[in-house]
Structure 1
Amino acid sequence: MSRCLGKRPARHDCRTYRLDPVLTVFPVAPYARDWSQNVPYQMRGNDRSGCWAFAAHGALVATWTKAAQGLAVLSTGKVLANYAAVTGFDPATGANDHGTILLDG
């Protein structure tokens, strides 16, 4: 992998949710809060493969569950298995490591 970082070109789809119409309803942005305090973020394989979309999902799950009821962490193996299931990536050999089209993920 030569610095492709896992993101493939965007695929546009008319069914993709658009936030613009909703944002015009809100007069003021809600108060900001840092939910990431004390969340143990890890690379989850993203330092060795282009699984950034799935590693990001793992980080989001950790953030949400830590804030809600109790920390749940997706293992690196689970993140790579999810990446493999969607993209055909082989964690054992590194074959088919071409990143992810987000609409497919």
Structure 2
Amino acid sequence: MSVEFKRDKNRKKKKEFKETHISQPEHTYDPENEKELIQKARQNNRRGGRPRKNKNYANVRTQKANLGKIKALQNTLGYYSQDDLLTDLLDKAENNLNNDQRTMFNMYIKAFNLLNK
């Protein structure tokens, strides 16, 4: 018993492929040029993200809206890091305390210093 294969007339026929045009690259890899670009990028890049020596750090949780304000103030006022900005802002707030607030502030500072020892 033999079976005849009947091809469907509606089936797609083979397409002919056209030759692909290969374009020339805009630039090629040059190791000497890459070294110069990396050195320039390192010179322009400020040191950031790495903790300063002999400093203790802890995380402070803030909302994203406030974080945006902090970054904007840092860039506007020209502070090197967010730590510098917050130190200056806290010093200004501490200088504006009245007598009762200063007493409470000193008590809290003493308590936190005893806890951290």
Same fold (TM over 0.5): no
Which TM bucket (shorter chain)? under 0.3
Q: TM-score normalised to the size of structure 1?
A: 0.22
More helix, by proportion: 2
Computing the radius of gyration over CA atoms, which structure comes out larger, 1 or 2? 2
Q: TM-score normalised to the size of structure 2?
A: 0.21
The one of the two structures with greater contact order (alpha-carbon pairs below 8 A, sep at least 6) is 1
